């Protein structure tokens, strides 16, 4: 019985039970069926035992939930996300971009070695005898693979899709294991900073259009950072690890970062101090630029000079784009990922910082098990399944990106493809879930009513108008693009029908009453809230059936 399953056997048992009942009611012999049912129940017992032996089957008890770090999106949530995607997509299309889609999993070797320390957060697919695959960690590496694979030299592409990271989730702040990213990247050569400035223009247009409140874009340049490290005397083989320490300055005080550099990563204290003289520098682009240009030592380092020159061009373009005021030129921005080669940026929202004044990272609840002081949890604490108080965690950055000139070439090389030139790229990734988190809080504050559906007209039947008449009228409306519903009962009572229209907040009710319908007329009533002016007198309008489509389209604001 290899094709039988618990579900199918249960269905057969149910069918047999019905049959036995019918036979008995009509006083026929049901013994053959009773025996068949006994045989099936035995079969079920064996199958369930087997499945439990193999670690659970549909017969055993388990919790109905989504996997850790993932959620279902209920209708209102799904609609809000759709609005976010649609806003972003509109802006990307304005800027000459096309979209692509890539598979949710890639060959393991495509993702391997691209994410540094974060590689441990990659989800692998099980080895089931075929190619080894992993779920995509971002949309950038798949893009670079796509560009190299198709020999593309120039492309503006956007991609809205889910990515997967086996991180510690902080669900209330939009940090999940499965989450959407909205990326736009431009591949191809351009004159200095032209594409870089357009990406920043797009980012600002997007964050403004999403109406999430105040935001800042922190900017820096890898060459300036690398130049500072050179000036300070950081050994070349420590550049990345020192970069990674600098990147923590948005969460840790300088003292802690310096300690990490010297104690953990073996940097000379003088070198660390020299770095410290620069990484505290941040402010409006032109101001910080002027300070750097006056620094003779730094300007003598060719890398740094290049970076500073790039920034000067960039700010000129950002001024034309009217977004310079959103920028903060911030020497402490280093960014975790290794593949950036030029400008880097991160957008933060007023809510990004953790609510508590302390700049220390949140203390896990299990810390109280050790000899350190017990953690006081406030009454607003939200302790998650890992013991972290989510109320102490900030939303984090809401978008980030930079220039990455070597990634495509590296793919092409690994594949043994001869590439005449690099395909330089620059892009930004909008963290949709973080944006969603922010919009949700703002929405709750305004107590805006949100519908999960868009239904416009409810067809209600009074006293004896058959279901088929309601279906006919609904078909007329559907044929004319009007979103319509009606009760699924043959002969529903009016109160239940009014309730359905109210529960779904359907704005118009089209009433079919026997006498009026026989005369070719219907009544259309606009659903006003109980407390609205005129609600009591609202009897609706009588409309000829022949004209009801035009009537409704006008009410709905359509031609």
Q: Looking only at residues 260 through 319 of this chain, which bind a copy of itself when binding is defined by CB under 8 A? A: 302-303, 316-317
Q: Which stretch binds a copy of itself (CB under 8 A): 107-115, 212-220, 358-366, 536-544?
A: 107-115
Which residues in the 446-465 window bind a copy of itself by CB under 8 A? Answer: 452-455
Answer whether 553's CB lies under 8 Å from 476's CB.
no
> Could you give the CA distance from residue 16 to residue 62 in angstroms, rounded to a whole number?
28
Side-chain-side CA neighbours of 490 within 13 Å: the count stands at 0
Which residues in the 182-211 window bind a copy of itself by CB under 8 A? Answer: 188-191, 194-195, 197, 201, 205
User: Number of residues in contact with a copy of itself, rule: CB under 8 A?
Assistant: 150
Residue located via tokens 């320390």: 117
Q: 460: burial class by Cβ within 10 Å (0-12, 13-18, 19+)?
A: buried
Position among 137, 278, 411, 517 found at the interface with a copy of itself (CB under 8 A): 411
Which residues in the 209-238 window bind a copy of itself by CB under 8 A? Answer: 226, 230, 235-237
468 contributes a contact to a copy of itself by CB under 8 A: yes
Comparing CB distances to a copy of itself, the nearer of 90 and 529 is: 90
445 contributes a contact to a copy of itself by CB under 8 A: no
Structure tokens at 193: 């900073």
Residue from 313, 315, 295 nearest 304 by CA? 295
482 contributes a contact to a copy of itself by CB under 8 A: yes
58 contributes a contact to a copy of itself by CB under 8 A: yes
Comparing CB distances to a copy of itself, the nearer of 10 and 377 is: 10
Output the smallest distance, CB 281 to a copy of itself, in A: 22
67 contributes a contact to a copy of itself by CB under 8 A: yes
Comparing CB distances to a copy of itself, the nearer of 110 and 363 is: 110
Which residues in the 319-348 window bind a copy of itself by CB under 8 A? Answer: 320-322, 338-339, 341
> Could you give the CA distance from residue 231 to residue 352 in angstroms, rounded to a whole number?
32
Output the smallest distance, CB 223 to a copy of itself, in A: 8
Which value, to the nearest 10 degrees, does the dihedral of the CA atoms of residues 259, 263, 267, 272 take? 20
Non-local (6+) Cβ contacts of 177 within 8 A are: 67, 68, 69, 70, 164, 165, 166, 167, 169
> Could you give the CA distance from residue 34 to residue 40 in angstroms, rounded to a whole number?
10
11 contributes a contact to a copy of itself by CB under 8 A: yes
CA distances from 39 to 42, 46, 331, 407 (A): 5, 11, 76, 63
Answer whether 57's CB lies under 8 Å from 6's CB.
yes
Comparing CB distances to a copy of itself, the nearer of 156 and 258 is: 156
Position among 85, 166, 273, 291 found at the interface with a copy of itself (CB under 8 A): 166
> Could you give the CA distance from residue 14 to residue 286 in angstroms, rounded to a whole number?
77
57 contributes a contact to a copy of itself by CB under 8 A: yes
Output the smallest distance, CB 278 to a copy of itself, in A: 18
Output the smallest distance, CB 524 to a copy of itself, in A: 18
Output the smallest distance, CB 305 to a copy of itself, in A: 9
Position among 109, 287, 290, 542 found at the interface with a copy of itself (CB under 8 A): 109
Position among 16, 228, 343, 425 found at the interface with a copy of itself (CB under 8 A): 16
Answer whether 36's CB lies under 8 Å from 9's CB.
no
Structure tokens at 385: 């399944």
What string marks each residue from 22 to 41 as x (binds a copy of itself by CB under 8 A) or -? x----------x--xx-xx-
Partners of residue 362 on adjacent β-strands: none
């Amino acid at each position: 019985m290899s094709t039988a399953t618990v579900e199918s056997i249960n269905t057969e048992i149910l069918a047999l039970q019905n049959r036995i009942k019918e036979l008995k009611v009509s006083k026929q012999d049901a013994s053959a069926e009773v025996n068949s049912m006994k045989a099936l129940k035995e079969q079920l017992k064996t199958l369930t035992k087997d499945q439990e032996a193999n670690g659970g089957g549909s017969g055993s008890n388990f919790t109905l939930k989504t996997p850790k770090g993932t959620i279902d999106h209920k209708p209102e949530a799904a609609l809000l996300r759709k609005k976010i995607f649609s806003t972003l997509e509109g802006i990307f299309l304005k800027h000459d971009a096309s979209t692509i889609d890539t598979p949710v999993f890639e060959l393991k070797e495509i993702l391997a070695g691209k994410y540094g320390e974060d590689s441990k957060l990659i989800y692998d697919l099980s080895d089931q005898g075929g190619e080894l695959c992993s779920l995509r960690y971002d949309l950038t590496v798949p893009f670079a693979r796509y560009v190299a694979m198709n020999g593309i030299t120039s492309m503006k592409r956007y991609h809205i899709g889910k990515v997967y990271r086996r991180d510690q989730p902080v669900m209330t702040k939009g940090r999940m294991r499965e989450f959407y990213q909205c990326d736009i990247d431009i591949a191809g050569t351009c004159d200095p900073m032209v594409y870089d400035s357009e990406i920043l223009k797009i980012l600002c247009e997007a964050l403004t259009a999403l109406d999430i409140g105040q935001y800042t874009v922190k900017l820096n340049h890898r060459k300036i950072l690398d130049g500072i490290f050179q000036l300070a005397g950081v050994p070349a083989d420590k550049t990345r690890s020192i970069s990674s320490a600098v990147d923590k300055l948005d969460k840790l005080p300088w003292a802690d970062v310096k300690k990490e550099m010297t104690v953990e990563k073996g940097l000379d204290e003088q070198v660390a101090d020299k770095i410290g003289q620069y990484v505290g520098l941040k402010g409006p682009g032109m101001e910080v630029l002027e300070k750097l240009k006056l620094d003779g030592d730094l300007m003598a380092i060719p890398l740094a000079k290049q970076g500073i020159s790039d920034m000067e061009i960039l700010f000129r373009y950002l001024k034309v784009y009217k977004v310079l005021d959103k920028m903060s030129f911030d020497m402490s921005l280093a960014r975790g990922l290794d593949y950036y080669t030029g400008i880097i940026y991160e957008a933060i929202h007023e809510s990004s910082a953790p609510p508590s004044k302390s700049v220390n990272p949140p203390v896990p609840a299990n810390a109280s098990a050790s000899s350190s002081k017990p953690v006081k949890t406030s009454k607003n604490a939200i302790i998650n399944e890992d013991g972290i108080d989510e109320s102490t965690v900030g939303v984090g950055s809401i978008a980030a990106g930079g220039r990455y000139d070597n990634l495509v070439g590296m793919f092409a090389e690994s594949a043994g493809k001869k590439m005449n030139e690099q395909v330089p790229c620059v892009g930004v990734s909008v963290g949709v879930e973080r944006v969603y988190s922010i919009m949700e809080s703002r929405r709750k504050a305004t107590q805006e009513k949100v519908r999960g559906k868009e239904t416009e007209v409810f067809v209600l039947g009074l006293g004896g108008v058959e279901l088929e008449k309601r279906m006919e009228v609904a078909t007329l409306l559907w044929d004319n693009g009007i979103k319509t519903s009606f009760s699924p009962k043959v002969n529903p009572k009016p109160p239940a029908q009014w309730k359905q229209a109210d529960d779904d907040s359907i704005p118009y009710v089209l009433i079919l009453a026997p006498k009026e319908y026989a005369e070719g007329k219907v009544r259309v009533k606009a659903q006003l809230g109980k407390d609205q002016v005129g609600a009591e007198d609202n009897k609706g309008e009588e409309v000829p059936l022949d004209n009801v489509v035009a009537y409704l389209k006008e009410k709905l604001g359509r031609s």
